[in-house]
Amino acid sequence: MKAVVLTKYGSPDALQLQELEKPTPKDNEALIEVKVATVTAGDCEIRAMKFPFWIAFPMRLYIGVLKPRRTMILGQEFAGVVEAVGKDVTRFSVGDEVFGSTGFGFGAYGEYMCLPEESDDGVMALKPQNMSFEEAAAVPTGGLESLHFLRLADVREGQKILINGGGGSIGTFGVQLAKHYGLEVTAVDSAPKLDMLRALGADHVIDYAQEDFTQNGQLYDIIFDVVGKSHYTRSVKSLTENGCYLIANPRMWKMIRAGWTSRRSSKKVFFAFAGREKDDLLTLKDMAEAGIIKTVIDKRYPLDEVPEAHRYVEAGHKKGNVIITF
Rounding to the nearest 10 degrees, give the CA dihedral for residues 84, 85, 87, 93: -100
Q: List phi, psi (to 5°) of 235.
A: -65, -45
Residue type, 103: G
Q: pLDDT-derived band of residue 170, with 50, 70 and 90 as boundaries? A: very high
Mean pLDDT for all residues in the chain: 93
Nearest-angstrom CA–CA distance, 31 and 159: 44
Tell me, yes or no, if the two domains 2-139+295-325 and 141-270 fold the same way. Answer: no
- Supply the pLDDT for residue 244: 96
How far lies 236's CA from each of 164, 175, 257, 303, in Å? Answer: 14, 21, 11, 43
pLDDT of residue 310 exceeding 90? yes
Nearest-angstrom CA–CA distance, 136 and 126: 10
pLDDT of residue 64 exceeding 70? yes
Residue type, 85: V
Fold type of domain 2-139+295-325: Quinone Oxidoreductase; Chain A, domain 1 (3.90.180)
- Supply the pLDDT for residue 246: 95
pLDDT of residue 5 exceeding 90? yes
- CATH assignment of 141-270, given 3.40.50.720, 3.40.449.10, 3.40.920.10, 3.30.70.20? 3.40.50.720
By C-alpha distance, which of 119, 118, 76 is closest to 101?
76
For residue range 117-160, list pLDDT tens digits in order. 988 889 999 999 999 999 999 999 999 999 999 999 999 999 99
Least reliable range by pLDDT among 47-61, 92-106, 235-249, 301-315: 47-61
DSSP string, 61-76: HHH-SSS-SS--B---
Beta-strand (E) ranges in the chain? 2-6, 15-19, 29-39, 77-85, 97-101, 112-116, 123-126, 160-164, 184-189, 204-207, 220-225, 239-247, 268-270, 297-302, 321-325
Q: Are 209 and 191 in contact (CB under 8 A)?
A: yes
Domain residue spans in the chain? 2-139+295-325, 141-270
- Supply the pLDDT for residue 35: 98
Nearest-angstrom CA–CA distance, 127 and 179: 23
pLDDT of residue 250 exceeding 80? no
- Supply the pLDDT for residue 133: 98
Q: pLDDT-derived band of residue 265, with 50, 70 and 90 as boundaries? A: confident
pLDDT of residue 18 exceeding 70? yes
